[in-house]
Amino acid sequence: MDVSQYFRFFLALVFVLGLIGVVGWTVRRFGFGQKIPITKNRDRRLAVVEVLPVDARRRLVLLRKDDRKHLVLLGPGQGSDLLIESATPAPDRPVDEAGKPQP
C-alpha cells in the first residue's frame, strides 16, 4: 500500500465520522426520540402530562398522580433530579385545624 491509499482511507474515515457527528447533532437539536408514548388507559393513576427539554442534558417533566401534579427537573447522573413544584388539590370538604375533614 502506498501513501495515496492511506490518505484516501483517512479521508473516508473523517467523512464517516463527520456524518455521524451531523446526525447526532441533528437528533439532539430537534429532539428526535424524546417523545414519551402516553397510553389512553383510564385506569392508570400515574401519567406523564408534558415533557419540555431545557437544554441538551436536562428536561422538565410534568407528572400527574391521581389528582395531583408534580413538576420535576430531570438531569444526567444520580442525585441531579429535583422536585420543583408539587401542587396539592383543594379539599372537597372543609378541614379542621388538625387537617381532618369535617362531616
The per-residue pLDDT for range 66-94, each reduced to its tens digit, is 888 888 998 887 777 888 888 766 455 56
The cell 381532618 sits on which residue? 100
For the segment 56-65, the average pLDDT, to the nearest whole number, is: 88
Compute the distance between CA of residue 6 and CA of residue 96 in angstroms, rounded to an integer: 82
Residue 35, pLDDT score: 60
Residue 86, pLDDT score: 81
Tell me: the pLDDT tens digits for 3-19? Answer: 899 999 999 999 999 99
Which grid coordinates are listed for 87? 401542587
Compute the distance between CA of residue 60 and CA of residue 71 in angstroms, rounded to an integer: 7
Q: What share of the chain is helix, strand, coil (3-state, %, to 5)?
A: 25, 30, 45
Three-state secondary-structure class, residue 87 = strand
List the chain domain ranges: 1-33, 43-89
Query: Is residue 42 over pLDDT 90?
Result: no
Residue 12, pLDDT score: 96
Residue 18, pLDDT score: 96
Residue 101, pLDDT score: 58
